[in-house]
Structure formats: C-alpha cells, structure tokens
C-alpha cells in the first residue's frame, strides 16, 4: 500500500528507562524521536524519573490504584508506536524500565510497533539488554522492528547539551524512530482501509429510508 495515500496522523512515544540525572538514555531516545518526527509523527517523551511508580508485586491490580501508573498507561496507550530506551545494567535492562513494563500489558502494547535503544558506559554496548527487550516485546504481542541502536561508551558520544557527536550513530538512532513511525503508519492505514473496504462491501440495509 503506497504510504503517500495515507493521511492518518501517527503518534510515537519514547520511554526513557533511566533514573540518572543527565541520562544518556534519555538523550538517545530523544534522537530516535527526532527521527520519528522527520517521518511526520507526533512524538512525546516519557521520562520515568518523573513518575513515582509502585513496584509490581503481583498482588491484585496495582495499576488502578496509582495516579502515576494510570498516567503512564494513558501516555503509552495513546501511541501508535513506542521507542523503548534502557541503559544496560549487569547484562540486562534497567530495573525501573522492567517494573514499568510489568505494570502495563497487552492493553498498552499489543499490535503496536516498538523500537529499541540501549546505552552503555563500556565498549560492548547494550546488546544483551536489547535482546531481553525484544523478548519482552514479543511477550506483549507487540511488533518489534528489526532496527535497533546500541550506544557504547555513551559518555563519549553526547556533549553537555545532549547533542550527539557521532553522525553515523545519530543516523542509526534516528532510523529506529523512523522505522517505528513508518510501520505504525502502514499498520494504522491498513486497518483504516480494511474497515472502509468492509464498509463498502456491506449489503445495503433494506429497511433504510
């Protein structure tokens, strides 16, 4: 389906899973969201530093009891696509991001496009964290796009203002956001066209005036 025929507005949220002040994860997610905007998406950043989230204990539905959890869920539900960003801690994603994901579920993620961004203070990058997030995306019935971006030696990559110094890495981060927006648009437009097709093929109501 030609993308130019679709007039649907696409919304992409970026979720920064770091509690660090001056977070490189947040900076990386912001670059990815800039890529989504270049593809015409409306974007917003969800910074988990700004939320007071309860811990998921599995005892009842804690999501309904916390204003910040409800706010988080609403922001994610509004999006057609989500960029998940995490630092890599001990070979996995951050605890705050895992807890945030545990407080959500199919209602927020099922059928949506998800892109992955990871940062690391070392040379190995964040591939283990990204692989874990890819498994989580599948468990949530989301569509995880093939593109992902790992930022090694993050402290060397960004300047004090958050501007990325490596053009090739900036391009990879933007590509994640662009692909999330692109596939979200294709998915959303396909749904709209399928509805119109079924509407046009529906039999005429014989009782209509």
Could you tell me the residue ranges of all domains in the chain?
A: 3-201
- pLDDT, one tens digit per residue, over 146-205 is 999 988 888 888 887 888 888 999 999 999 999 999 999 988 887 555 544 554 455 544
CATH topology for the 3-201 domain: Rossmann fold (3.40.50)
Rounded-to-integer distance, Cα 98 and Cα 116, Å: 14
Rounded-to-integer distance, Cα 109 and Cα 103, Å: 12
In the chain, DSSP assigns E strands to: 11-16, 42-47, 81-87, 113-119, 143-151
pTM of the model: 0.85
- pLDDT, one tens digit per residue, over 46-78 is 999 999 998 888 766 666 668 999 999 999 999
Q: What is the largest CA-CA distance in the chain?
A: 71
Strands 11-16 vs 42-47: parallel, antiparallel or unpaired: parallel
For 83, what's the count of Cα atoms within 13 Å in the CB-facing half-sphere?
Answer: 41
């Amino acid at each position: 389906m030609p993308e130019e025929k679709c007039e649907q507005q696409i919304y992409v949220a970026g979720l920064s899973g770091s509690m660090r002040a001056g977070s490189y994860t947040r900076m990386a997610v912001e670059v990815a969201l800039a890529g989504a905007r270049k593809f015409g998406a409306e974007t917003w950043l969800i910074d988990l530093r700004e939320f007071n989230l309860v811990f998921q204990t599995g005892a009842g539905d804690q999501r309904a009891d916390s204003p910040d959890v409800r706010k988080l869920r609403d922001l994610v539900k509004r999006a057609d696509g989500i960029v998940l960003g995490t630092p890599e801690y001990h070979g996995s994603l951050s605890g705050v991001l895992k807890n945030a994901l545990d407080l959500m579920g199919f209602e927020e993620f099922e059928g949506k496009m998800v892109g992955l961004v990871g940062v690391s203070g070392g040379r190995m990058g964040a591939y283990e964290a990204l692989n874990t997030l890819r498994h989580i995306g599948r468990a949530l019935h989301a569509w995880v796009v093939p593109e992902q971006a790992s930022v090694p030696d993050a402290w060397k990559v960004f300047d004090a203002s958050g501007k990325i110094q490596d053009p090739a890495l900036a391009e990879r981060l933007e590509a994640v956001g662009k692909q999330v927006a692109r596939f979200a648009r294709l998915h959303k437009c396909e749904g709209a066209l399928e509805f119109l097709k079924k509407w046009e093929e529906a039999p005429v109501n014989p009782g209509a005036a």
